[in-house]
A = this chain, B = another copy of it.
Amino acid sequence: MATYEYPRPALTVDCVVFGLDDEGLKVLLIRRGLAPFKGRWALPGGFVRVEETLDEAALRELREETGLKKIFLEQLYTFSAVKRDPRERVISVAYYALIKLSDHRVQAATDADDAAWFRLDAVPELAFDHAEILEVARDRLKGKVRYQPIGFELLPEKFKLSQLQELYEQILGRELDKRNFRKKFLSFGIIQELEEREQGLPGRPARLHRFDAKAYRKLLEQGFHFEL
């Protein structure tokens, strides 16, 4: 029990978790077991504890939901409409996360039937103001991906350039020219060409690449500006 001189809003974090698989870009949702909005899909999230930062709260929730550590996570926006939670005043700090669906299978999330991945064009009706939060997250991702190399957070360690291009097309919502895309991206010097090639698929085998974080940091220090 805690007592204060003035009433305080409750504080939660909600996470928009993006993942990529062969069907495209997806978002992780959880089915609510309790009122309000019982049975509705919602963003994973929960209350902030008084002894943790918001980042810690978001990471904790994500660990609890997905079993993952080392996730790319950024604060998105703080939502504060007075009636956004019908029970009482709840202010929510939204985060968005990018995870490599390819590497780690997301555990609790996928085999429990109360959590699932949804394609961004097939998201069901959401609880609270979560549709709005998701919208803001998509816009942020779309904006950010153009001037920060965060797309790699969604791809496996080693990837084909065609995967990278498809990812960008998904996020930006438009098609890109293959030759121009390759030319431009390679010219940055932030991805390494590996000798390895992907085999077992029809078509000419693709050379694999890897994001070179070290080279990127070095370029950043020299005032390099990544763009598109």
> A77 to B55, alpha carbons, bound, how many Å?
12
CB of A15 to closest CB in B, whole Å: 14
Cβ B5 vs Cβ A4 within 8 A: no
Would you call A10 an interface residue if the criterion is a C-beta within 8 Å of the partner chain's C-beta atoms? yes
From residue 15 to 47 of chain A, which have CB atoms closer than 8 A to chain B? 47
CB pair A50 B7 closer than 8 Å: yes
Q: Enumerate A34-92 residues with CB–CB distance to B below 8 Å.
A: 47-55, 75, 77-78, 80-82, 89, 91
Our pick among B3, B11, B75, B80 for the contact of A55 (Cβ within 8 Å) is B80
Chain B residues whose CB sits within 8 angstroms of the CB of A54 once the complex forms: 78, 80, 91
CB neighbours (8 Å) of A52 from chain B are 82
State A8–B88 Cα separation when bound (angstroms).
14
Question: Which residue from chain B places its CB closest to the CB of A93 in the assembled complex?
Answer: B78
Inside 8 A of A77's CB, which chain B residues have their CB?
75
Closest residue to A55 on the B side, CB-wise?
B80
Q: Check B8 against A4 for contact (C-beta < 8 Å).
A: yes
Judge whether A1 and B8 touch: CB under 8 Å. Answer: no
Docked complex Cα distance between A91 and B47 (Å):
14
Q: Find out whether the CB atom of B80 lies under 8 angstroms from the CB atom of A8.
A: no
Asked if A2 and B11 sit within 8 Å, CB to CB, the answer is no
Closest B residue, CB atoms, query A84: B53
Distance A89 CA – B49 CA, assembled complex (angstroms): 10
Bound CA–CA A48/B49 (angstroms): 19
Contacts of A49 in B (CB 8 A): 6
The smallest C-beta distance from A144 to any residue of chain B, in angstroms, reads 11
Indicate whether A9 reaches chain B with its CB closer than 8 angstroms.
Answer: yes
In the assembled complex, 18 residue pairs joining A and B whose CB atoms fall closer than 8 Å, in A order, are A2-B3, A2-B5, A2-B6, A2-B7, A2-B8, A3-B3, A3-B4, A4-B4, A6-B50, A7-B50, A8-B8, A8-B11, A8-B50, A48-B80, A50-B89, A51-B82, A53-B80, A53-B81
User: Which A residues are closer than 8 A to B by beta carbons?
Assistant: 1-11, 47-55, 75, 77-78, 80-82, 89, 91, 93
For the complex of A and B, list the 8 residue pairs with the smallest distance between their C-beta atoms, beginning with the closest: A2-B7, A54-B80, A7-B50, A53-B80, A8-B8, A3-B3, A78-B78, A2-B4
